[in-house]
Amino acid sequence: MATTTLVIMAAGMGSRFGGIKQLEPVGPNGEIIMDYSIYDAICAGFNKIVVIIRKDLEKDFKEVIGNRIEKQAKVEYVFQELDDIPEGFSVPTGRTKPWGTGQAVLCCKELVKENFAVINADDYYGKEAFRLIYKFLNDPDYNDNDYCMAGFILGNTLSENGAVTRGICKVDETGKLVDIVETGGIVPAEDHAEAKDSNGNKIAIDLNSVVSMNMWGFKPGLFDFLEKGFVEFMTNLGQDDIKKEYLLPTVVGDLVKAGKVQVSVLKSNDRWFGVTYKEDKDDVVNSIKALIEKGEYPASLYA
């Protein structure tokens, strides 16, 4: 069986959450959200796991998740570091954080030579999206520049505890991605969602809009695009841009607009949930409990 890899981006600290939210237990036996994502991925057919972490979190990750996951699938780690930048460039004075999700995935270049999916560590995506992406990545009818993205329904991704940022997707009649517009400050309203435009004015957003939750299916050729793009990003970086990030959705969106890749939007009706705010944790715990009661998961993933 061909290797199909799941790449998990887990290098970020949850500043709004107030701690390392990727390691917060949400299952009845201490399982974290990532446990359920890995379980769903393995059930779908993925057979290699690569986790992107910070070097200083390696010990915690291996103690909390790595040692038990290694019994289920091959697990490897890569480290996203601030100083891992193209030759000839330097880190701007005052910069303290790594360079964003584009750099995070680029860190995997030497480890990942096969088709792969990318997810966030602290998001629950549901079983359907993993099945759809695995099927796409193993379909011989798609070529090296055919990528995919799990498209979620906006109304299934909102938090009752505060505003969220979502990538609102424009999709053509063939199901291909045309554009992603990062939209912040989204909150649920009566029969729609609300956000604010660049002038601070309220705008209404259809709850049925398709959004990206940073769940992608890629071919190995992406790494060459990422490498070239990172050089361009660093070239255009000003010394005052100490917080600017090299973001995966922006890279993919630029590749789509340039006609270099096609991205199929695979629509999932599963409800997304995650811990954006501390108050979200209870909702996640209750949602996992309900899924276990429905028989979607065993009471203990590692019994």
Q: Does residue 20 contact residue 57 with C-beta atoms inside 8 Å?
A: yes
This prediction has a pTM of 0.92
Rounded CA separation 91/11 (Å): 18
Per residue in 152-201, pLDDT tens? 999 999 988 888 889 899 999 999 999 998 888 899 888 899 988 777 78
Per residue in 58-75, pLDDT tens? 887 787 777 777 777 788
Two tokens at 141? 């009818």
Q: Does residue 117 contact residue 215 with C-beta atoms inside 8 Å?
A: yes
Rounded CA separation 121/274 (Å): 9
Rounded CA separation 182/187 (Å): 14
| The one-letter amino acid at 63 | E
Residue 143 three-state SS: coil
pLDDT higher than 70, residue 21:
no
**Which structural domains are found in the chain, ordered by start?**
5-293 (3.90.550.10)
* The pLDDT value given to residue 15: 44
